[in-house]
């Protein structure tokens, strides 16, 4: 078991678990009930946590979640205006023809 995500936002943690589930990664939400004890425990202990059951999947899970967070921040996949090749949000240049992403 490995923790891949934690947040005070219960909805965000459940959303993260759904993302992993779609990718076939089994994960478990922990500390879900501690949120209600907020104010009595140090805040760092009240975070809702997401754990993947299989340590071998942890790295892939973290990558997926980073990707998901980027997407939530407004980054989206794009298509090269020169050759039509789809590009990942984190790249600003087409891997195929080298054209820069248009604004």
Write out the residues near Zn ion by the rule CB under 5 A.
80, 82-83, 85, 94, 96-97, 99
Closest distance to Zn ion from the beta carbon of 100 (Å):
9
Residue 9's region, left for phi above 0, alpha for psi from -120 to 50, else beta, is beta
Nearest to Zn ion of 27, 80 (CB atom): 80
Interatomic CA distance for residues 74 and 34, integer angstroms: 31
Our CB check for Zn ion shows the closer of 66 and 96 to be 96
- Least Å distance between CB 90 and Zn ion? 16
* For Zn ion, the closer CB: 25 or 80: 80
C-alpha closest to that of 89 among 73, 97, 98, 99:
73
Distance CA 8, CA 44 (A): 9
Distance, CA of 99 to CA of 28 (rounded, Å): 42
Task: Name the residue nearer to Zn ion (CB basis): 44 or 102.
Answer: 102
Report the nearest approach of Zn ion to the CB of residue 83 (Å): 3
């Amino acid at each position: 078991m490995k923790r891949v995500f934690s947040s005070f936002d219960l909805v965000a943690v459940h959303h993260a678990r759904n993302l992993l589930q779609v990718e076939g990664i089994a994960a478990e939400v922990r500390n879900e009930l501690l949120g209600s004890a907020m104010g009595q425990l140090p805040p760092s202990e009240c975070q809702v946590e997401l754990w993947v059951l299989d340590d071998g999947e942890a790295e892939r899970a973290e990558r997926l979640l980073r990707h998901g967070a980027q997407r939530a921040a407004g980054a989206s996949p794009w298509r090269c205006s020169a050759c039509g090749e789809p590009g990942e949000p984190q790249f600003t240049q087409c891997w195929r023809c080298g054209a820069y992403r248009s604004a």
